């Protein structure tokens, strides 16, 4: 199970931290997201050198949860041991020397640190097939698509095809999109009025997705309704109006949770 909390480093930066509690192995490890900041190295050093880790682990002591595995002695959350593993996910780029310094300091503190920055994300996308392809109108990027991708990124192993992260200069746009559509497990449609009025790329992606469903005879589409009515969806695609959808009005975190669960069902 996971528990999310928020800590404030001595530099005054608030960082959301997820604590993963593994009752099978009897251990805890931590993962956090560092937002873009002007001094990422110092913020990371603050995270691993002050009493941040102790504060987060102290939260476990407040859980009245025990494992319920048959014939296994129940383990309380407070009795789980920290394995020393910390994952920092961030859009900030650290130089090789900065990363080496950070890892050395973490090692001296007894932590096994993994820094997952932009380079890691780009390589991760290349070697792993995406769990979901995010199809959206560019006008909904900042308000819907990017917040959704950021929330999905908080789930372990959740890799998505998202143009900002999956495309690089020189890529063939059509080939890259078609590859993403073919390889992803699910296709998320951000159905807004902008999407429904777009007769360009989103329409092309939509047609490709439904062609794949016909060929594979499986349900690939995970729709998100963004301030649109059933009549509007029906006018765009009658078959799409009959799909159970997530509703953006419930917030990015809840929609991401629903998408992650559906994609892994």
3-state secondary structure 68-130: CCCCCCCCEHHHCEEEEEEEEEECCCCCHHHHHHHHHHHHHCCCEEEEECHHHHHHHHHHCCC
Together in a domain, 166 and 256: yes
pLDDT for position 172: 46
DSSP H or E segment with residue 259: helix 252-263
- Residue among 205, 213, 216, 254 flagged as catalytic: 205
Neighbours of 39 (CB within 10 A): 12
Per the domain annotation, does 146 fall within a domain? yes
Q: How many domains would you assign to the chain?
A: 2
Decide which of 116, 145, 174 is a domain's last residue: 116
Q: Find how far residue 163's CA is from the centre of its chain.
A: 15
Q: How far apart are CA 153 and CA 121, in angstroms?
A: 10
Under a CB-based contact definition with an 8 Å cutoff, are residues 161 and 184 in contact? yes
Q: Which CATH number fits the domain that encloses residue 248?
A: 3.40.50.10140
Residue with tokens 């900042």: 142
**Domain final position from 53, 87, 116:** 116
Q: Do both 178 and 214 map to the same domain?
A: yes
Do 135 and 48 lie in one domain? The reply is no
Q: What is the pLDDT of residue 167?
A: 45
Are residues 132 and 72 part of one domain?
no
pLDDT mean by block of 10 residues, the chain; 265 residues: 74 80 80 87 87 73 54 70 88 90 93 84 61 86 89 78 56 56 82 88 78 81 93 90 92 91 83
> The whole model's pTM is what?
0.51
Task: Give catalytic status of residue 114 as yes or no.
Answer: no
How many CB atoms lie under 10 A from the CB of residue 106?
22
Same domain (yes/no): 112, 143: no
Which domain, by its residues, includes 158? 127-263
């Amino acid at each position: 199970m996971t528990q999310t909390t928020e800590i404030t480093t001595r530099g005054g930066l608030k960082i959301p931290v997820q604590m993963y509690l593994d009752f099978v192995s009897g251990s805890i490890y931590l993962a956090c997201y560092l937002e873009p900041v002007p001094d990422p190295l110092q913020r990371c050093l603050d995270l691993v050198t002050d009493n941040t880790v102790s504060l987060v682990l102290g939260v476990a002591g407040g859980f009245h949860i025990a494992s319920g595995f048959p014939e296994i002695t129940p383990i309380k959350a407070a009795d789980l041991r920290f394995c020393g593993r910390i994952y920092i996910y961030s859009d900030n780029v650290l130089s090789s020397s900065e990363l080496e310094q950070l890892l050395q300091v973490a090692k001296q503190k007894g932590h096994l640190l993994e820094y997952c920055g932009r380079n890691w994300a780009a390589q991760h996308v290349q070697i792993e097939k995406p769990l979901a392809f995010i199809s959206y109108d560019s006008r909904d990027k900042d308000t819907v698509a990017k917040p959704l991708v950021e929330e999905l990124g908080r789930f372990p192993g959740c890799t998505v095809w998202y143009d900002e992260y999956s495309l690089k200069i020189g890529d063939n746009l059509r080939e890259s999109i078609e590859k993403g559509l073919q390889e992803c497990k699910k296709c998320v449609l951000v159905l807004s009025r902008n999407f429904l009025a777009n007769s360009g790329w989103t329409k092309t992606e939509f047609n490709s997705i439904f062609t794949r469903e016909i060929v594979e005879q499986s349900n690939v589409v995970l729709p998100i309704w963004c301030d649109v009515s059933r009549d509007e969806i029906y006018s765009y695609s009658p078959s799409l109006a009959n799909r159970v959808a997530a509703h953006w009005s419930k917030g990015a975190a809840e929609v991401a949770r629903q998408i992650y669960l559906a994609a892994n069902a």
